[in-house]
Amino acid sequence: MQRFEGNRVGPDGSIQTIVLEVNDGQIQSVKTYDQVDETLPFIVPGFIDVHVHGGGGADTMDATNAAFSTIAQSHAKTGTTSLLLTTVTESVDAIDKVVTLAQEFIAAGAEVGAGVIGVHLEGPFIHPEKRGAQRQDMIIDPDPVLASRWFDSGVVKMITMAPERPHALEVARLAMEQGIVVAAGHTKVGSEGLYAAGKCGFSHITHLCNAMDPFLHRNVGPVGHIIEDEGYTGDMICDGIHLSAAMVKALVRSIGTHRLMLITDAMRAANFRDGKYDLGGLQVSVENGECRLEDGTLAGSVLTMARAYKMVQKLAGITAREAEQMASTNPARKIGLDKKGRIKVGYDADLAFLDNAGDVIRTVVGGKIVFEKSIQAKS
């Protein structure tokens, strides 16, 4: 039996010191002390990132065990305990390699950091005009036969595509039958199109406001649609670059924390360093936290889930528990992880420990410490 102590922020904002007893990777009991020990770190459910391309210098499209391990280790350092390796619009062969290797990597059960729980296919079934930092020459029409091959692997948990593309609704139905989350993204779809898509399996919108038509007073686009249609959830890149503070606050107020998720959309420079990098065959310059193509187009981020968790509290004026919902509980529920995303008896002991500044000092996955910040002694 293992014991983990720390402080929890309650729903009412009060702070309590708790002790968790963990056995075989699951929380067996949660006990509360009468007094608060202010020397202890804060405990939050481990962050779940459903949209992460890379980190630590590695990228999903590298399609090697070493790359997948590096990504998992890198993001574990900032509190992520589960993640979906996310592809870009590349050749079918390149995506095949990722899907096949992810199958083997997950089956091997390598314990290297954050748990790799599946693959998120971002592309290649997107709209060329809203491609963002995706290769135009690799965009193809949705192909039910090809999609079925990827879906049958069992590792695809989410797919982002443009609902207006030919055969997209057929692909969505196939995904829905296998319990795969279908998201609209890199799209020119309007509100009417999203109503129709919702009947065929679409239930989510990827990186709200980015790579889609804007919210206008007559043509409300995906942003206006998600406000009105409670059958959809959405996610956002809360790095202070992809969305303004006013937009973050507006989205949270109008949609609610119960239907929103935080993602990083992180590329290989996350938890690494500035410089020039490859992203799916495109050159990206990373400087001062911004990732851009040569034409200035935003190309992913170097965001971490820990920073997103802090930023959304600051920008939207929400509580720590509401931010937890967006960073842990909602993503777990969305992709069917019924034993993750909460600190509760019977749930997996996936935990992030934060200091008073909100920085991660320890990450626990399945009861095992996969990251612990070394404390430098003062001379």
Query: Which pLDDT band, with edges at 50, 70 and 90, does 378 fall under?
Result: very low
Instruction: Indicate if 265 belongs to the active site.
Output: yes
Q: What was the pLDDT predicted at 379? A: 36
Longest dimension (CA), the chain: 66
The answer to whether 120 is a known ligand-binding residue is no
The annotation status of 300 as a binding-site residue, yes or no, is yes
* pLDDT in the model for residue 60: 98
State residue 194's pLDDT score: 98
What is the arithmetic mean of pLDDT over 337-354? 98
Consult the annotation and say whether 122 binds a ligand: yes
Q: How confident is the model at residue 21 (pLDDT cuts 50, 70, 90)?
A: very high
Dihedral angle, C-alpha 107, 264, 123, 74, nearest 10 °: -40
Which residue ranges form the domains of the chain, and what is each CATH number? 2-42+358-372 (no CATH), 45-342 (3.20.20.140)
Active site residue: 49, 62, 265, 348, which one?
Answer: 265
Q: What does the alpha-carbon distance between residue 14 and residue 85 come to, in Å, rounded to a whole number?
A: 36
Residue 272 has pLDDT above 90, yes or no: no
Supply the DSSP string of 217-275, one letter for each residue.
SS--HHHHHHHH-TT-EEEEE-SSSSS-HHHHHHHHHHH-GGGEEEE--B-TTTTS-SE
Q: Is 7 within any annotated ligand binding site?
A: no
pLDDT tens digit string along 34-87?
Answer: 899 999 999 999 999 999 999 999 999 999 999 999 999 999 999 999 999 999
Nearest to 56 by CA among 294, 277, 298, 363: 277
